[in-house]
Amino acid sequence: MRNEETPLARAIAAHQAGRLEEAQAGYEQALRERPDDPDVLHFFGLLHFHREDNDKALELIERSLVQAPDNPHAWNNLGNILHLWDRPREAQGAYRRVTELAPAMAEPWYNLAVLLRDEGKFADAVHHFREAIRRQPDLSRAYESLGMLHYRLGQIAYAAEVYRMWAAREPDSPVARHMAAATSGLDVPERADDRYVARLFDKHAHHFDSNLKQLGYRAPELVTSALAQHSPGSGSLDILDAGCGTGLCGPLLQPLRRRLVGVDLSARMLELARERGGYDDLVVGELCAFMRSHEAQFDAVVSADTLVYFGALEEACAAAHQTLRAGGLLVYTLEALLDEGTDDYRLQVHGRYAHRETYARRALEQAGFSVLQVGREALRRERMQDVIGHLIVARRLQPDDSSIALSSGA
């Protein structure tokens, strides 16, 4: 019988294809035929791990290692289970065993680096991330984790080096290119790549709200309160939440809304917004394209900390002008650029843009808005400091107010 026709081979093929019931039946048959086969025990353990039956997974993989104590892949998977169970010391022991048995494998070096980083052993973590990259130069998550660790340690030049190495290895990676620009100040784009933003927020969606709560995040309250202050009345507005994320603005907008639509690049964030409720429609899409394709359909556009992923603001202001009805309101936050430089905006090392007030006003007025309010507010706290931002309210001019726009921009 050829190897691909054995019960184990068929079970592995079904497992890889996601046919888990078929895989389980195949592993059970193989185990009946060879109850002490280390490969059968190992792969059957992996199936239980993928089905979140971690007790059984641990039992089977440990039995496998009794039979084949020098199998680095089984040791690595044992470490993964122990890590998931929050048993970091035992997981480290399993991963270290892999580095002894198969030092060319990148995975255990990376896994050890993550555990060491989480323990606060940052120098050791850096060493192990670099070892993972040395052994597998295309291991994207190792570059990303190492660059972020250097950033968190304030080692921006080292972070820039890592992101540049990653971008050279993987030039189509939006994360590598964006963070290389952010940490080095070179080749800065006018706005973040949509793929970078979508990936960033998809990755952090399920921890997003809790993380922002810890940071004292205020942007949703600020923009909704400002809209209420300047809007004509309650319950009468068709509102677009541009970059709605998990829908934090949704509950706050209920007293003002007649209709509420949210648009965001991150599908995972919108899943959470849908669970939160309050929106008539939620659309996965790029906000400028959405606004341009929905001409004169809204009385208000709110955007809490979304335009921080734009450097140049002209496109977003023009699109907001197009989607608003005459007299409609645009309310949004930006991070403030407060030094004495002359640049209109700057990509900061954490990957978001900061803007000067004078530039924000100019972009609005050129697009056909009258600026009603620009206030400075603490948007949240990061690294023990307030992040100061602009809270901006602007009104789309009536057709017969064009002379105001021209004079205000002079």
Extract long-range pairs of 371-376: CB within 8 Å, 24+ residues apart.
371/408, 372/230, 372/329, 373/226, 373/230, 376/336
pLDDT at 399 exceeding the cut of 80: no
Q: Reduced to 3 states, what is the DSSP secondary structure of residue 336?
A: strand
Lowest mean pLDDT segment, chosen from 131-140, 154-163, 200-209, 332-341: 200-209
Alpha-carbon gap, residue 364 to 344, rounded angstroms:
13
Q: 67-108: per-residue pLDDT in tens?
A: 999 999 999 999 998 998 889 999 999 999 999 999 999 999
Q: Looking at the domain that runs over 3-184, which CATH code has it been given?
A: 1.25.40.10
Q: CATH 1.25.40.10 in the chain: give the residue spans.
A: 3-184
Q: 217-226: per-residue pLDDT in tens?
A: 899 999 999 9
What is the band of 393 on the pLDDT scale with cuts at 50, 70, 90? very high
CATH 3.40.50.150 assigned to 198-408:
yes
Which residues are CB-neighbours of 388 under 8 A, at least 6 positions away? 335, 336, 338, 376, 377, 378, 379
- CA torsion sign for 172, 175, 176, 177 is positive
| pLDDT score of 1 | 39
Q: CATH 3.40.50.150 in the chain: give the residue spans.
A: 198-408
Q: What is the mean pLDDT of residues 229-249?
A: 91
- Strand residues in 132-266 grouped as ranges (E): 237-242, 257-264
> Taking Cα atoms as reference points, which of 215, 211, 184 lies closest to residue 351?
184
Q: 153-173: per-residue pLDDT in tens?
A: 999 999 999 999 999 999 999
Task: Give one DSSP letter per residue of 69-99, joined into a string.
Answer: TT-HHHHHHHHHHHHHTT-HHHHHHHHHHHH
